[in-house]
Structure 1
Amino acid sequence: MRLTDKFDRYITAIFFATIFTVIATSYFTFKTVISTYNKQQQEATIPLFSWINSEVISPLTLSKYMAQDPLLIELVEQETLNKAMLNKFLEVVSLEGKLRSFIAIEKHGMMMDSDGLTLDFSHQDAEWYQRIKRLDSNYIADIGDSENPTLFYDVKMFNDQQNFIGFTGVGVDLDLFASKLSDFKNRFGFEVYFIDKAGHITLSTNSLMKTESHHRRDELVHIETFPWYQSYQNSMSSNVNEFTYNADKEIFTVTHLDIEELSWKVFVVAPSATSQKTFWLILLSRFGIFLLVAMIFYFAFFSVLELFKKDIVADANIDNLTGLPNRTYVEWKFEKLLDEYNELTVVVGDIDHFKSINDNHGHLIGDNILKRIAKLLSADLRDKDIVARWGGEEFLMLLPDTSLEQSEEICERLRRNISASRFYGKSKTDPIKVTMSFGISLEHCQKLTFSDFIENADQALYLAKSNGRDRVETFKRPNNHA
């Protein structure tokens, strides 16, 4: 194998090994990033739970304070309602918390809120009153108002004698919850479920419960309908608030928080990033970009390498003195010539008495003569013909698809041109006589091996030397078969 071919293969192997290493490193780096993302995703539940405490529980706390407010209790127990004072009280509360405050009075059988709504208990929109009144709990969170779904915090009011006198509290527009929960879902991809004491979903990120039929009788969804809930029930004995659930080749991390004030639970269901389609889309897109950059780098790398390789090839294949191809080049070209042609004429030429020229005139003059001979041999040859310096004062010519007669004519012309040319040494008036002998052989490429590549041409050259030099001889095969 030629040195440059080995060089190409080694460089290619190194390049792709580097690419593979970078891809593998990028993959595991990406996995680490995703792992970090998962950790951040889990840590995101901390601000979520903090928001739940501030935005879900604080309205209940405010409602409890309202139920114990002496001024409100006094207004409720009056024989004649001072609606103006009640409206003022409710407006102040609603403005401070940007909430919808309300009061329902047992003695007068009516309710009013900060939006100016006033209803008798006989109205269908006041059906909640009797239902919640029968409950043992002194407070409850319930969704009402079918046109504008609102989470109401209903707190029972009692006078100094601990007699039940009505309800008061505030309502939070579910759009506020939806906006915040949607933000968490968009940022981290998890679902949030608020579950009441009976196990029904009160609020969630994928479907906020509405009240199109009073008390949501037609919209109740129980948490047990979700398959991951069974894993939660199995984990309850271990007193953990986080567990994993596998479903359809996806891994979910489920975290829960108890809202004791409302007897609610909050579940956060977060799919693992590595099991999400988004992960693979990101990975494939990054890999595609990386592959594109790698290919651009590859072609740029080998374009630059090709420029250097040309210099390397030139240094390895060109004789520095004559500028002709050298023996290394011929050895490489040999295999290609065998594939391209059926016959190949091999010519070996040798400068006659070159040693005496070096001895009498010096090696510098000898080098100049070699250069001049190289130019004479290269003149008037076809593009497919090859002239090379074989070694010392010996030259080689390869003439594809050329008959012996044509080869003899070419070599005879070259011989005469060299013999007729004037070569000078140190003296510019006394030319040096330079002649050259040639040996020709026509070889059949199918049977040719490099070991006998020039053997027959060498024999013909030896015959030319023996017959007096400055002549052309052709190798004669047995039975005159060429």
Structure 2
Amino acid sequence: MNAFRTLHRSVLLLFAIVVVAIVTLVHFSVSTIVAEQSRAQQQSLSPAFSLIVEQLIKPLHTAEVLSKSPELVDLMDAETIDPQQIHSMLNRLGEDFDLAFFIASEKARMQYNSDGPDIPLIKNKVNWYFKYKALDKPAVTDIGKWENTHFYIDIKIFNDDGEFLGFFGVGKSLKSFVSVFESYKLQYGYDFLFVNDVGDIMLSSDADLMAESSDFTNLSELPWFATLPDDVKDQRNLNNRLVTINQQEYLVAEVKLNQFDWTVFLLSPLDKRKADISHAFVISVVTLLVVVFSLFMMIYHLLHYFRRDLSPEAAGRSVNRLLDQNRIEKQFDDFLAAHHSVSMVLVGIDNFASINDTYGRNTGDNVLDSIAAYLFADKRNKDVLGRWSSEEFVILLPDTGPHEAVDIAQNLRHGIATLAGPSNHPQLQLTGSFGISFTASPRPMSEVAANAEDALYQARRDGNNLVKMQLIE
């Protein structure tokens, strides 16, 4: 219980430090608090990041996934290009994803569009195709189609022999961006500037700064940017810098979009924040004290409820530190030798591949860590947890019958279903499927595992978020 007592004292110390910190904050001026809180908020503007993901990253990922379609490659690699089949596919994709799609065929030297007429790809007339074809990049972003300006993502397509077949891409009208940005600005008060590597403004919440024809507004043309020191302008390092626009102060936050070689500048007006914090400062401090005290009481009662010794191994364990199959097999043999019976539980994360494809591998890794931490914290002291595959875990339950193993698995299944999603996608619902097998006689782990895997597959076939058992005949 030494670890428990140490943690208990640490919580008390943490509460005391927080109280002292809050009292110290009272002595600072409101303007200092505004500046510091604004900087902190600019670093974690989740609504802004959500907007960037929805409007830019999601179309990019959509185009990247669709570009790997065998149907697309076959259409572009056919000996004779069939415009009718191409338009059929593009129109279907446009209806499914509510985006404009196009195919620029190297063989036909034609650009086929889902939302407009076909365009012959002729040098010195359609410059983008030949310019980007020569670049050593798999994907390019650009602004084009000047009669109805679009934001485009162009992805190079190759056949199995590495032969260049042309471009597949997705486009969004700049009018749709203007509408979304205006709505966001009304709700949150922030302005956007999406700037490429040479300083041209590609997208903006200010409709007057959007590209028209082939005329881009450069960052250097903005009056407030011209007032900055030369070294700041040369490096375009504006993060956490105060600027004055139309006699109003703005705080600039900077976000790198490496997928596009762009930088996003978020401009936050300070006047409203000063007024809000001046009126609500005392209430905020009192509320923070209540919240911290409530958290302290909750942690205090949880410690008394669980009363588990915490080892450094448990505190620092992550999904990458779980036992692998070889070590699990050794534990299995040891359990059979010492206890004569073992239940095996396989745990599979439902729809894990879809989570990776939709939200990215970082989110998938966060989901794995979250579920691994939960399984480790909730297992009994005598049980062993390991990694079975990329999206599956294994739990060995010594001296545990199959029906007791089912009860344990049901509790774990319910616990996973109540876990919060990753911090960047809290709405994500997590569930797991369970397959159970059991042996009371010496036999290879592979035989028990095969039955547990069959049970797990049955749980997934029956709709996920289920516990199934298959005993050895």
Scaled by the length of structure 1, the TM-score of the pair is: 0.45
Scaled by the length of structure 2, the TM-score of the pair is: 0.45
Greater radius of gyration (CA):
1
